[in-house]
Amino acid sequence: MIVDERFITYINSLDSGNTKLLEEIEAEALRTDVPVIRKETQACLKLFLTLKKPKRILEVGTAVGFSAIFMKTYNPTECTVTTIENYEKRIPIARTNFRRAGMEDAITLVEGDATQVLQQLDGTYDLIFMDAAKGQYIHFLPHVMRLLQKDGMLISDNILQDGDIIESRYAVIRRNRTIHRRMRRYLYELTHHEQLVTAVFPVGDGITVSSKKA
């Protein structure tokens, strides 16, 4: 827990909630141990969508489709969402959820390894939401920079690793050390990239919000 749990409980108690379908999908995901973006992160994402009003959104990491539907629902302007997922068991669940939401024409799910898929995509996106394997963020970054339009927004979730990111690599469980090293490198790249202005927020499990300079 990055922020005192009492603060999080209070902040989340102020949340006005989501649509009935989103609440159902979130509950189903949590019952089956599928991670979805945390409540406080959802609130921030609603704000950024309202401010940015992106027409083309790219998501790296679909899971069961909650966040793709969330972004389409709370974006105040018409938009399309392209989302990438490699875990075969979750793909049919995501497709079913897109049909439940009546968004199968607006949300395109691309199956495959994100590194390969990102190389094949063309055009640019107003908003890119990174919510996939944390150890791969640094490998996705060059492709994301190519696809992010000028003045575009990059939001990366789960960047503080439940607080592990501030620990010495030797204080981190051995199996997590590679992810720890790569995420630290990713954060350094974001905050020192000459084309980006980046802020790091201790919200949920940590998010970064980056804007590509015009």
Residues flagged as binding site: 37, 67, 85, 113-114, 131, 157-158
Residues tagged in the binding site annotation for Mg(2+): 131, 157-158
Which residues line the annotated binding site for S-adenosyl-L-methionine?
Answer: 37, 67, 85, 113-114, 131
Torsions phi, psi for 182 (to 5 deg): -70, -40
How would DSSP label each residue in the chain?
--S-HHHHHHHHHT-----HHHHHHHHHHHHTT-----HHHHHHHHHHHHHH--SEEEEE--TTSHHHHHHHHH-SS--EEEEEE--TTTHHHHHHHHHHTT-TTTEEEEES-HHHHHHH--S-EEEEEE-S-GGGHHHHHHHHHHHEEEEEEEEEES-SGGGGGGS-GGGS-GGGHHHHHHHHHHHHHHHH-TTEEEEEE-STT-EEEEEE--
Cβ neighbour number for residue 193 with a 10 Å cutoff: 15
- Identity (one letter) of the amino acid at 159? I
Residue pair 62/34 in contact by the 8 Å Cβ criterion: no
176, amino acid identity: N
